[in-house]
């Protein structure tokens, strides 16, 4: 960003302009981006007959990013409705139990599903239909306790 951009706003709030110039200078000096130190993906032990759906779908895994947010991914199949899929390690668990919607496929086609993640780290999935073929865990994220 050029100084010309900021000059038009100087009379409105000089403090903000000074802050914006400092931020601009900082971003230019680091190449315009910051690299965060994320933890590696962890592959949990799947429980209760749950298994990875397999290629080409992603493996069930989780990691915690540098801001403390836990991210889940993967497609699981083979387990029974309302059973624990896996348990998150200590330090990767939410501060309170949570309920997250997701999608799956069963004998009746695409169905609404949900994952419950409790403070003990148990990740349980359930579905609105019958005959679960698979359930997706992609895009589930939360702040670790």
107-118 pLDDT, tens digit per residue, is 888 888 999 999
Model confidence band, residue 42 (pLDDT cutoffs 50, 70, 90): very high
- Would 41 be classed as within a structural domain? no
- Are 90 and 22 in a shared domain? no
CB 127, CB 115: distance < 8 Å: no
pTM for this model (two decimals): 0.73
Please return the burial class of 14, using the count of CB atoms within 10 Å of its CB with bins 0-12, 13-18 and 19+: exposed
Segment 119-139 mean pLDDT: 90
Segment 58-74 mean pLDDT: 93
- Would 45 be classed as within a structural domain? no
Model confidence band, residue 130 (pLDDT cutoffs 50, 70, 90): confident
Q: Which domain holds residue 128?
A: 51-143
Read off the CATH number of the domain in which 115 is found.
2.60.40.1830
- Are 58 and 97 in a shared domain? yes
- Are 12 and 61 in a shared domain? no
- Are 113 and 66 in a shared domain? yes
Calculate what percentage of the chain has a pLDDT beyond 90.
Answer: 57
- Are 119 and 79 in a shared domain? yes
Paired with 112 in beta bridges are 103
- Are 26 and 67 in a shared domain? no
CB 129, CB 113: distance < 8 Å: no
Q: Is the confidence at residue 3, as pLDDT, over 60?
A: no
Closest by CA to 116, choosing from 96, 89, 139, is: 96
Q: Is the confidence at residue 87, as pLDDT, over 50?
A: yes
Segment 75-82 mean pLDDT: 93
In the chain, the number of structural domains is 2
pLDDT value, residue 62: 97
Q: Is the confidence at residue 4, as pLDDT, over 60?
A: no
């Amino acid at each position: 960003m050029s100084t010309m951009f900021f000059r038009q706003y100087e009379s409105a709030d000089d403090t903000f302009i000074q802050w914006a110039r400092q931020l601009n200078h900082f971003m230019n000096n680091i190449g315009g981006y910051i690299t965060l130190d994320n933890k590696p993906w962890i592959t949990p032990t799947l429980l209760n007959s749950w298994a990875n759906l397999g290629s080409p779908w992603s493996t069930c895994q989780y990691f915690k990013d540098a801001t403390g947010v836990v991210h889940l991914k993967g497609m699981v199949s083979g387990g029974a409705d309302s059973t624990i899929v896996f348990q998150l390690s200590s330090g990767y668990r939410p501060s309170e139990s949570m309920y997250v919607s997701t999608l799956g496929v069963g004998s009746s086609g695409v169905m609404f599903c949900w994952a419950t993640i409790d403070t003990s780290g148990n990740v349980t999935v359930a579905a609105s239909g019958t005959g679960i073929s698979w359930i997706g865990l992609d895009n589930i994220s939360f702040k670790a306790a």
